[in-house]
């Protein structure tokens, strides 16, 4: 079995053209992750630039309303650029800079990872190009403008379903085209080794902080942590430092779209099977001949037919649970959190809030649930308004 495995999942299923690039990246990462100077610089960026640590907010009104476990919200939406994506991007762009790269490329779905990459590139003086599905560029026009404002070139991807999966494919193609000066800032805990490990390590700051903060506030660990899962970067970040704590339930909320019994879903663990795609072995939505399914979710960030290999492994071992959440439930939760707590979550994060609304009332008042609010929802307002039949323009 090759390197970078999580059980049977993971690996490096990529063209030979890219092999030396990922080997070089692995070597650089293994060096810098233990380099005190690199870690000092990264901590400073995370704290002074991105605004970490993010708050662990006690959602008193939601707790009271749901009448079960105490609810805490991990406020990744308060980070600079409005989502957890910046944690990984600052790490990877700093690493790329140390490796002598002068150009970064990235895929984006909802646009949050593209904006974060464009931001870090602007700040660290790197050239930046972002690949985004044409469909998503229409769904997330404001983020396209933000990326361009930050100096990035945004390329519309028209192949396939013109969404996140096609953006990943196109960014991989671009990387094979120009490797020497270019680093691919992969945005989720997926793809070929070492990306799933690198992204997880840079996002693990989320669970590291949750642990410290909840111990300080409650003197004990939570009973469950919840996060939405597309590729799974905020979820693996939320889970990672709790994996050894068997008493903490790890719950990933997948995008079921119009329902897992329909073809219009992106719930990979609920509906997918084992396969090989985008550099990794993992679960994918696909047909009987291995053709990747054209998935659907209202959330551009979760509209992906696969899931990161470490999640696939956590599912296999039973350590983490994965639940499907429909568009309708996510939109209800988007509106719910806005009204009850005055926090507009990203539609992606609303998937985790939606499941919490079902779970929390079944738990005791002495129990604790932490939901990671992976991003802010301003970007989604126009789309949700349209979903509710109100035509507003950004």
Partner 1 sequence: MNKRITESFTKGKAFIPFITCGDPSLEVTEQLVYAMEEAGADLIELGIPFSDPTAEGPVIQAANIRALSGGVTTDKVFDMVEKIRKNSSIPMVFMTYANVVFSYGTERFVKKAAEVGMDGLILPDVPFEEKEEFDGVCKEYGLDLISLIAPTSHERISMIAKEAQGFVYCVSSLGVTGMRSQITTDIGAMVELVKKAKDIPCAVGFGISNPEQAKKMAGQSDGVIVGSAIVKLCGQYGVECVPYVKEYVKAMKDAVREA
Q: Strand 249-257 to strand 224-229: parallel, antiparallel, or no bridges (unpaired)?
A: parallel
| Count of residues of this chain found to bind partner 1 when the rule CB under 8 A is applied | 39
Q: Is 297 a catalytic residue?
A: no
361 forms part of the interface with partner 1 (CB under 8 A): no
CB nearer partner 1, residue 178 or residue 220: 178
* Binding-residue pattern over the window 159 to 198 for partner 1, x denoting contact by CB under 8 A: xx----xx--x--xx--xxxx-------------------
Which listed residue (288, 366, 390, 391) binds partner 1 by CB under 8 A?
A: 288
Among 242, 284, 334, 336, binds partner 1 (CB under 8 A): 284
Smallest separation, CB 75 to partner 1 (Å): 36
Residue 7 — φ and ψ, nearest 5°?
A: 60, -130
- Residue 374's closest CA among 293, 243, 255? 255
Give yes or no: 282 in active site.
Answer: no
Query: 3-class DSSP state for residue 33?
Result: coil
Residue of 107, 129, 329, 348 marked catalytic: 107
Find out whether the peptide bond into 53 is cis, omega within 30 degrees of 0.
yes
**DSSP category for residue 304:** -
Residue 374 annotated to the active site: yes
CB of 8: closest distance to partner 1 in angstroms? 10
Shortest Cβ distance from residue 23 to partner 1 (Å)? Answer: 9
- Both tokens of 168, joined, read 């990943």
Looking at the Cβ atoms of 156 and 243, the one nearer to partner 1 is 156
Say which residues have a Cβ less than 8 Å from residue 66's Cβ, sequence separation at least 6: 356, 357, 360, 361
CB of 3 or CB of 134, closer to partner 1 = 3
E strands within the chain?
Answer: 5-6, 9-13, 56-58, 70-75, 103-108, 127-133, 153-157, 182-184, 224-229, 249-257, 273-277, 279-284, 320-326, 368-373
C-alpha 273 chain-centroid distance: 21
Please, what is the minimum distance in Å from the beta carbon of residue 331 to partner 1?
A: 29
Question: For residue 43, how many other CB atoms are within 10 A of its CB?
Answer: 13
Q: Which of residues 98-117 bind partner 1 (CB under 8 A)?
A: none
Would you give the distance in Å from CA 249 to the centre of its chain?
19
Name residues contacting partner 1, limited to 204-263 (CB under 8 A). none
**Among the options 70, 74, 76, 85, which is catalytic?**
85
Shortest distance in whole angstroms from residue 15 CB to partner 1:
5
Active centre residues (catalytic): 85, 107, 374
Residues that bind partner 1 (CB under 8 A): 2-3, 11-21, 159-160, 165-166, 169, 172-173, 176-179, 273-279, 281, 284, 286, 288-292
């Amino acid at each position: 079995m090759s390197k970078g495995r999580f059980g049977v999942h993971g690996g490096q299923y990529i063209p030979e053209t890219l092999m030396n690039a990922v080997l070089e990246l692995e070597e650089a990462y293994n060096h810098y992750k233990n380099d005190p100077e690199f870690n000092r610089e990264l901590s400073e960026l995370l704290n002074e630039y991105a605004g970490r640590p993010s708050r662990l907010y006690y959602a008193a009104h939601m707790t009271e309303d749901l009448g079960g476990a105490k609810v805490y919200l991990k406020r990744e939406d308060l980070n600079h650029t409005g989502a957890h994506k910046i944690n990984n991007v600052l790490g990877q762009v700093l690493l790329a800079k140390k490796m002598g790269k002068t150009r970064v490329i990235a895929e984006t779905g909802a646009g949050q990872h593209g904006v974060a990459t464009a931001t870090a590139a602007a700040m660290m003086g790197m050239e930046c190009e972002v690949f985004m599905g044409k469909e998503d560029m229409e769904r997330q026009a404001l983020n396209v403008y933000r990326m361009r404002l930050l100096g990035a070139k945004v390329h519309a991807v028209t192949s396939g379903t013109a969404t996140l999966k096609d953006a990943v494919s196109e960014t991989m193609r671009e990387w094979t085209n120009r490797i020497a000066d270019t680093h691919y800032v992969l945005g989720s805990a997926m793809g070929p080794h070492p990306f799933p490990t690198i992204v997880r390590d840079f996002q693990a700051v989320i669970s590291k902080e949750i642990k410290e903060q909840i111990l300080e506030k409650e003197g004990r660990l939570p009973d469950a942590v919840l996060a939405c899962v597309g590729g799974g970067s905020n979820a693996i970040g939320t889970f990672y430092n709790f994996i050894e704590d068997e008493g903490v339930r790890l719950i990933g909320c997948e995008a079921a779209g119009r329902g897992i019994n329909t073809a219009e879903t992106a719930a990979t663990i609920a509906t997918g099977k084992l396969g090989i795609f985008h550099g990794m072995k993992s679960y994918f939505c696909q047909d009987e001949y291995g053709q990747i399914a054209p998935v659907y979710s209202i959330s551009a960030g979760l509209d992906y037919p696969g899931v990161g290999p470490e999640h696939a492994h956590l599912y296999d071992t039973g350590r983490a649970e994965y639940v499907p959440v429909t568009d309708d439930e996510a939109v209800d939760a988007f509106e719910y959190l806005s009204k009850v707590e005055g926090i507009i979550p990203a539609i992606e994060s609303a998937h985790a809030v939606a499941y919490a609304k079902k779970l929390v009332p079944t738990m005791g008042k002495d129990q604790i649930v932490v939901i990671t609010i992976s991003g802010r929802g301003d970007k989604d307002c126009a789309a949700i308004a349209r979903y509710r039949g109100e035509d507003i323009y950004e």
